[in-house]
Structure 1
Amino acid sequence: MEIKQGSQSFYIGDEKNSEAEVHFVRVGETRIILDHTHVAEHLRGKNVGQQLVKAAVEYAEKEKLHVIPLCPFAKAEFEKNPEYQKLLG
């Protein structure tokens, strides 16, 4: 399963009609908000959501951005993964 990067998301499938995605919004120069995660029923239970959040985290690290995880799923992933917490902001 290939995770692709869109202009404001990481997704699987087609950007306009994705099977799974984590959506983000850029806030200023130093932050992104993870505001929505969606995984189609047939992909659930396969760690797809976790992989999408991880892709967003890796992007934030590379771009030196802080992350505000407003989406409940992304927030839970940040709570489960102490290594993500250094990006909170």
Structure 2
Amino acid sequence: MTTDSAATESSAPTVRHEPALARYTLRIDGETAGFADYEVDGTEVLFTHVEVDPARRGQRLASILVEQALDDVRVRTDLTVVPVCPYVVSWIELHAEYQDLLTRGR
């Protein structure tokens, strides 16, 4: 069986930072499938809300979105992450390698 690599690549989720909207957007096939809203307050970035299209739930998309957003914060800033959204709180609790983001800069 062969797979069409172009189709596979285009259907892979991508996360884009949209600073003008204070949001990370997860897109699949050119359509928004989810987003993570945040607010910057001084030296902190507060992740306030994560949402995934109900039709696409159960595909680990929220996890992909949060992971890539936190990776971007780690690389691009020195801000301390403050998880306000319950999903982000539990995600960071389950991923010890991201817990340093909660205390850096303090």
TM-score for both structures, normalised by structure 2: 0.73
Residue in structure 1 matched with residue 17 of structure 2 by the alignment:
5
Q: What is the CA RMSD across the aligned residues, in angstroms?
A: 1.5
5 Å matches for 1:1-89? 1-7=13-19, 8-13=22-27, 18-28=32-42, 30-62=43-75, 63-89=77-103
Q: Distance in 2 between matches of 1:12 and 1:57?
A: 13
Distance in 2 (alpha carbons) for counterparts of 1:46 and 1:38 = 13
> Which structure shows the higher helix fraction?
2
- SS for the counterpart of 1:64 is coil
- Unpaired stretches in structure 2, ≥5 consecutive residues: 1-12
Query: Could you state the TM-score of these two structures normalised by the residue count of structure 1?
Result: 0.86
Flag as ranges the 4+ runs of structure 1 deviating above 3 A.
none
Alpha-carbon distance between aligned partners in 2 of 1:68 and 1:5, rounded to the nearest angstrom:
18
Higher relative contact order (CA 8 A, sep 6+): 1
Residues 2-35 of structure 1: per-residue CA shift (max 9 Å, x gap)? 211111111124xxx943011110111x210000
Q: Among all aligned residue pairs of Structure 1 and Structure 2, give the percentage whose two residues are the same amino acid.
A: 24
Q: Which has the larger radius of gyration?
A: 2
| Ranges in structure 1 where 5+ consecutive residues have no aligned partner | none
